[in-house]
Amino acid sequence: MGSPRQRLILAIILAVTVGAGAAHYAGAPSVLSFVVSGFALAGLAWVVSDATESVGRRFGPAVTGVLQSSLGNLPELFVVLFALRAGQVVVAETSILGSIFANALLVMGVVILAGVRHSFDGVMRFQRRLPQDTGTLLLLAVFIIVLLGLSVGSADPASGHRQAISNIGAVLLIAVYIIWLLGYLRSDAATESGAEEGSGFTFPVAIGLLAVGGVAAAFVSDWFVSALTPTLNTLHLSEAFAGIVIVAIAGNAVENVTGIVLANKGQSDLAVSVVKNSVSQIALFLYPALVLLSLLFATHLTFVLQPVYIGALGITALALWQITGDGEAYAFEGWGLIALYVIVAVFAYFE
Amino acid sequence: MGSPRQRLILAIILAVTVGAGAAHYAGAPSVLSFVVSGFALAGLAWVVSDATESVGRRFGPAVTGVLQSSLGNLPELFVVLFALRAGQVVVAETSILGSIFANALLVMGVVILAGVRHSFDGVMRFQRRLPQDTGTLLLLAVFIIVLLGLSVGSADPASGHRQAISNIGAVLLIAVYIIWLLGYLRSDAATESGAEEGSGFTFPVAIGLLAVGGVAAAFVSDWFVSALTPTLNTLHLSEAFAGIVIVAIAGNAVENVTGIVLANKGQSDLAVSVVKNSVSQIALFLYPALVLLSLLFATHLTFVLQPVYIGALGITALALWQITGDGEAYAFEGWGLIALYVIVAVFAYFE
Amino acid sequence: MGSPRQRLILAIILAVTVGAGAAHYAGAPSVLSFVVSGFALAGLAWVVSDATESVGRRFGPAVTGVLQSSLGNLPELFVVLFALRAGQVVVAETSILGSIFANALLVMGVVILAGVRHSFDGVMRFQRRLPQDTGTLLLLAVFIIVLLGLSVGSADPASGHRQAISNIGAVLLIAVYIIWLLGYLRSDAATESGAEEGSGFTFPVAIGLLAVGGVAAAFVSDWFVSALTPTLNTLHLSEAFAGIVIVAIAGNAVENVTGIVLANKGQSDLAVSVVKNSVSQIALFLYPALVLLSLLFATHLTFVLQPVYIGALGITALALWQITGDGEAYAFEGWGLIALYVIVAVFAYFE
């Protein structure tokens, strides 16, 4: 069950999480609800991060990364579904995009900085395989999105069938993602994950904490987001900014903290795996699945996006491939990714 | 002259080819002509594939690949010339584009799947050199096509000179292609092509079969395509779909079958060489040559294309480089390329 | 102080430079001023090139390349500042863009041809690190420029804040460039620069020649450019062509000659360093700095560019990464880069 210190921290996090729920259901002022659920999110992120590391000693980085990013992407799924049900298509779209940008640019950038700081020679090193795979997968999603954007932009006959094209594209993306995922998980069996230090939880406890932490993070994210909307109105911020920045950062707190903590401990491959899997899962599985699920609602989601976000997505895919595809990252590359995220946020602020 | 079994197969293919010619010139129903010439094409593809392999034992993969793709691209050349003479500029353009997409996405994807299935560890391996070269060459063609597209899209002064810019671009592309080709063929002298098994034809017979098969494939492709047009009308399909999908697949049957057969036999380098050479030859030689040749006709061909196809071409160049540039390919990458081709076909269907 | 032959050459160059100044200030016919300052520029380029090589024996290629490209970019800085003060925003923009295209495409292409000719096997080899870094840095600049272009093209709300977005982007680009530069210069301490032949100047003389040559090149570039404008009017050439081609080649004569001379001597790493550093310094430091400096003038500079130049910049960044990112270059790649420059020049000619 871990050390006494770990048990104390878990108790505090449990208390804060319960407090966030109470603030939400009791109708407390949104600012209070916002702050408490924010702390709860960060605490749950620590739980998931710590438990993931214990599990990672049993499996390789592949299984752990997929597990982790799946748990970490649950909040986004719920946020977008709630937004679509309420007919808020701009919030839904920008939340998905924002999750991609936050993971691929902001979190990846901070992970690189943490990894570089931990390295002995200013270079973070990791396996090239996963970044290359993520690059391939992202290019597939970018292909559909760019082609639809050009079709709609030039108002050609195909642009009248944007929903049908989006549906076919969604099925294709999910199919390729599942084929990739099966191969990726199978490859992990071969790698030997050197279980070095034995500081953490036992395997069953870790699995239990991962499950509980992931589900709780989903709930808390929801409370956090519903407390954000009134705050947004008070601060006169646009829906685009809320989706690209606030929901994106809040909804990805788990990947954020997990990735950075792992990189700080020198576990480069696991850190990269968490972030990369999150990005490709959102772009190749979550987004397409939401396109198909939205057919059940009155408001439909397609792959048609605003030109600025299409361009940002395309160059993000290229920059991520360029920077991480060679299995080495330098500090300036981490800062560069963060700068790209700031630029996207600036555009969203002015939209 | 090969084994008795090989001689029997050759006789059957000869008979079917003669039958396709008879159906064409006797004015048989287009469906009959279509089916017979389709079988003849597949048979000739087998001949060229088999003969290429025999020749490949004498030369390296470079010379064989160029030889093979040159023979394989003859049908496209004739189809586009006939279309331009008839003033059908949409069919001409989409046939060229379709040949690039069919080779770079569909055939390359299937070749990767065949190569992966033949490998012992689920990874198809080949030399990085040719994919890198093809990536460079395709970026040159994409450069001209994207700049012209942006110029025409923004209606700037240069867009009024699209024909002159296309002509200059065509000369530059052909010049760079020839410089590349000379260096590529010279490099082949150095590689030792280990002539392992001696199953095939003798060298002179193989060369003869290649020549006869290539020329016959050109004729049969023509009969096949002319039988397609009435079929298209019956099925209510657009010209764009005919060019991007039907002409593209029919016109590239030779590369298609050859590449897949070679990959199935584990000759990864030769398979990749056939497909890659075909792609760069179409983009850097056939298309520019047709732009210049079209000056002799009333209908001129330029590098100005529809926005959707420009985007598809640009990202195809990037995806091909990303996937094959590292000399390794996985099954999901083959499926990914095939998915991209399906997406292009879906757009063409709705145009 | 070098050999007697070197001293004689230096004296001749000094005389030509003084002559160019005399022609400028005495109001000589512009054609005469143009020719004399052209010769002076080429001579000064030789001085800087020779002195750089001597310094390069003391430091590694990193420090030398940065030093060299900084000196070489002084002319562009002055030209653009003078143009902005005179309100000529087209000349200012196209001069910056032209400097990027001239260095990244024309000079890099010629350097590759020189490097290939000097190599024993037709392949120019150099370290992958700097080209990869330059690729990353260029993608950052392209990100801002493409997003602004898409924003302005679709007239979305953010496009109304193009100046604010440009200013923020400029600060971010300069910050990332400085972080990169500090890491890059630090890394140089580790490399051992084998001081092989001792043909050149002593260290203090070389430093002095570099300083004097760089400053003189700035002055002579100015005289050269001011003599160009009347010549342009006589020849009926557009401002875009003047910026993209004439100012770009004149203003980069130093990098041009230095890079080619170094490549000819087989110093591939130093040659690549000079060109690459020049490109990233213009895109990530000079251009952003001029955006911020232009706030002092009545005419402001932003990152909003014509669509054709945005596309050209984006694909130039990709092509440069694709061709040089693997640390090997072939002759056809050099010709390919030169062909791209010709295409950009053709567009500029027709604008």
Assess contact for A128 and A326: CB atoms under 8 A.
yes
What span, in angstroms and rounded, lies between the C-alpha atoms of A351 and C156?
7
Query: Which chains reach chain A with 3 or more Cβ–Cβ distances below 8 angstroms?
Result: B, C
Q: Which pLDDT score is estimated for A286?
A: 93
CB interface of C with A, residues 24-83, below 8 Å: none
Mean pLDDT of all residues belonging to chain C: 86
Q: Given a cut of 80, is residue A228 above it in pLDDT?
A: no
Tokens of C115: 């490097």
Q: Which residues pair with B329 in a beta bridge?
A: B124
What integer is the mean pLDDT of C10-39?
A: 87
| pLDDT over 70 (residue A191) | no
pLDDT of residue A245: 86
**pLDDT value of position C172:** 97
Cα–Cα distances in Å, from C28 out to A215, C33, C236? 81, 6, 21
Q: Which of C279, C301, C299 is nearest to C290 (CA)?
A: C301
Span B94-104, average pLDDT:
92
Q: Number of residue pairs across B and C with CB atoms under 8 Å?
A: 92
Residues 169-208 of B with CB under 8 A from A: none
d(CA A328, CA A128): 8
**C290, pLDDT greater than 90:** yes
CB-based contact B195:B62 (threshold 8 Å): no
Residue bearing the bigger pLDDT, A192 or A180: A180
With contacts defined as CB-CB under 8 Å, which chain C residues touch B143? 312, 315, 319, 340, 343
Q: Report the percentage of chain A scoring pLDDT > 70.
A: 94
Of chain B, the end-to-end C-alpha distance in Å amounts to: 49
Mean pLDDT of A222-234: 77
- Give A348 to chain B, closest Cα distance, Å: 25
Percent of chain B with pLDDT over 70: 94
DSSP H or E stretch at residue A124: strand A124-125
Contact in structure between C73 and C214 (CB atoms under 8 Å): no
Q: How high is the pLDDT of residue C320?
A: 94
What mean pLDDT is reported for chain B? Answer: 86
Per-residue pLDDT averaged across A24-52, rounded?
81
Instruction: Decide: A351 and A245 in contact? Cβ < 8 Å.
Output: no
Contacts of B345 in chain A (CB under 8 A): none
Q: How far is it, in rounded angstroms, from Cα C112 to Cα A7?
A: 63
- Partner-chain contact B312 A160, CB within 8 Å: no
State whether C310 and B150 contact (CB < 8 Å): yes
Q: What local confidence, expressed as pLDDT, does residue C246 receive?
A: 78
pLDDT of residue C195: 44
pLDDT of residue B188: 67
B328 pairs with which residues across the strands?
Answer: B125
| pLDDT of residue C282 exceeding 50 | yes
Q: Please, which pLDDT band fits residue A264 given cuts at 50, 70 and 90? A: confident
Residues of C in contact with B142 (CB under 8 A): 315
The answer on pLDDT for B42 being more than 90 is no
Query: Residue B80 and residue B95: Cα distance in Å, rounded?
Result: 7
* pLDDT surpasses 70 at B189: no
Q: How far is the alpha carbon of B178 from chain A, nearest alpha carbon, in Å?
A: 30
Minimum distance, in Å, between the CA of residue C247 and any CA atom of chain B: 20
The arithmetic mean of pLDDT across residues A319-340, rounded, is 94
Is C328 in a helix, a strand, or coil? strand
pLDDT band at C188 (very low <50, low <70, confident <90, very high): low
Asked if B306 has any chain A CB less than 8 Å from its own CB, the reply is yes
User: Among A180-194, A235-249, C262-276, C286-300, which is the least confidently predicted range?
Assistant: A180-194
B225 and chain C in contact, CB less than 8 A: no
Question: Residue B7 pLDDT > 90, yes or no?
Answer: no
3-state secondary structure at position C127: coil
Of the candidates A139, A165, A179, the beta carbon closest to that of B318 is on A139
- How many angstroms separate the CA atoms of A74 and A79, rounded? 9
Residues 321-350, chain B, touching C (beta carbon < 8 A): 321
Contact call for B331 and A164, based on CB within 8 A = no
| Between B131 and C29, the higher pLDDT residue | B131
Examine the pLDDT at B196 and tell me if it is beyond 60: no
Report the range out of A277-281, B155-159, C309-313 with the highest average pLDDT: C309-313
Query: Which one of A145, A148, A176 makes the best mutation probe of the B interface by having the most chain B beta carbons within 10 Å?
Result: A176
Task: Give contacts of C155 with chain A, Cβ < 8 Å.
Answer: none
Does C183 contact A308 at a Cβ distance shorter than 8 Å? no
Residues of B (95-134) whose Cβ lies below 8 Å from C: 132-133
The percent of residues above 90 in pLDDT, for chain C, comes to 44
pLDDT at A189: 59
Q: What are the DSSP E strand ranges found in chain C?
A: 124-125, 328-329
- The owner of tokens 């788990």 is A254
Q: Which residues from chain C sit within 8 angstroms of residue B183, using beta carbons?
A: 122, 330-332
Q: Does C146 touch chain A (CB under 8 A)?
A: yes
- Looking at every residue in chain A, the average pLDDT score rounds to 86
- In this complex, which chains have at least 3 CB pairs below 8 Å with chain C? A, B
If pLDDT is split at 50, 70 and 90, which confidence band does B245 have?
confident
For residues C312-330, average pLDDT: 94
Closest-CA residue in chain C for B172?
A: C339
Q: Cβ distance C209 to C47 under 8 Å?
A: yes
The partner residue sitting opposite C158, judged by closest CB among A326, A340, A350, is A350
pLDDT at B56: 72
What would the two tokens of residue B234 be? 């019956």
CA distance B185 to chain C (A): 13
Instruction: Tell the residue number behind the tokens 């070197």, with chain if given.
Output: C6
Please check the confidence at residue C202 and state whether its pLDDT lies above 90: no
Other beta carbons within 10 angstroms of residue C81's beta carbon come to 16
Give the 3-state DSSP-derived string for B112-138, with helices as H, strands as E and coil as C: HHHHHHHCCCCCEECCCHHHHHHHHHH
Residue A130 has pLDDT above 60, yes or no: yes
* Residue from the list A315, A318, A336 with its beta carbon closest to the beta carbon of C176: A336
Confidence check: pLDDT of A11 > 80 = yes
Helix (H) or strand (E) holding A336: helix A331-350
**Chain C: nearest CA to B156, how far in angstroms?**
7
Exposure string over B140-163, b if 16+ CB within 10 A, otherwise e: bbbbbbbbbbbbbbeebebbebbb
List the single residue in B with minimal CA-CA distance to C350.
Answer: B158
More confident residue, A333 or C220: A333
Q: Is the pLDDT of residue B197 over 50?
A: no
CB contact under 8 Å between C339 and B153, yes or no, is no
CB contact under 8 A, A157 and B351: yes
Closest CA to A60 of A148, A186, A244, A167: A186
CA angle (C254 as vertex; C249, C258 as ends), nearest 5? 120
Q: Of the candidates B330, B333, B342, which has its C-beta nearest A172's C-beta?
A: B342
Tell whether C148 lies on the interface with B, counting CB pairs under 8 A. no
The predicted pLDDT at position B39 comes to 80
Query: Which residues in chain B are contacts of A146 at CB distance < 8 A?
Result: 311, 315
Cβ–Cβ gap C175/A322 under 8 Å: no
Calculate the alpha carbon distances from A191 to A60, A62, A275 in Å: 6, 9, 20
In this model, does residue C199 exceed pLDDT 70?
no
Taking contacts as CB-CB distances below 8 angstroms, the residues of chain A near B342 are 168, 172
A14 touches chain B (CB under 8 A): no
pLDDT above 60 (res C291) = yes
| A vs C: CB pairs below 8 A | 91
Contact yes or no for B307 and A156 at CB 8 A: yes
Q: Residue C77 — pLDDT band, cuts 50, 70, 90?
A: confident
Amino acid at residue number C290: L
Most trustworthy range by pLDDT among B235-239, B249-253, C76-80, C95-99: C95-99
Q: Note whether A332 contacts C173, CB cutoff 8 Å.
A: no
A62 Cα distance to chain centroid: 16
| Residue of B351, B338, B341, B339 whose CA lies nearest to B112 | B338
Q: Nearest by CB to B176, from C312, C336, C346: name it.
A: C336
Task: Compare all CA atoms of chain B with the CA of C318 and give the residue at the minimum distance.
Answer: B139
pLDDT over 80 (residue B78):
no
CA distance A33 to A40: 10
Pick the more confident residue, A84 or A72.
Answer: A84
* Among candidates A308, A318, A343 on the partner chain, residue whose Cβ is nearest the Cβ of C150: A308
Residue B125: phi and psi, rounded to 5, are: -115, 140
The answer to whether residue C310 neighbours chain B at the CB level (below 8 Å) is yes
Confidence of residue C2 (pLDDT cuts 50, 70, 90): low
B314-322: average pLDDT: 95
Q: Is the pTM of this model over 0.80?
A: yes
Dump pLDDT digits (tens) for B115-136.
999 888 889 999 888 899 999 9
| pLDDT reading at A242 higher than 90 | no
Best mean pLDDT range from A174-183, B62-71, C88-97: A174-183
With beta carbons under 8 A apart, name residues in chain A contacting C142: 315
Nearest CB neighbour to B307, from listed A140, A144, A154 = A154
Are the CB atoms for B198 and B53 separated by under 8 Å?
no
Query: Could you read off the pLDDT of C231-251 as tens digits, one per residue?
Result: 777 777 787 888 888 778 777
CB contact under 8 A, B173 and C332: no
Among C151, C172, C179, the residue with its CB nearest the CB of A347 is: C151
A257 pLDDT band (50/70/90 cuts)? confident
Contacting residues of B for A160, CB less than 8 Å apart: 350
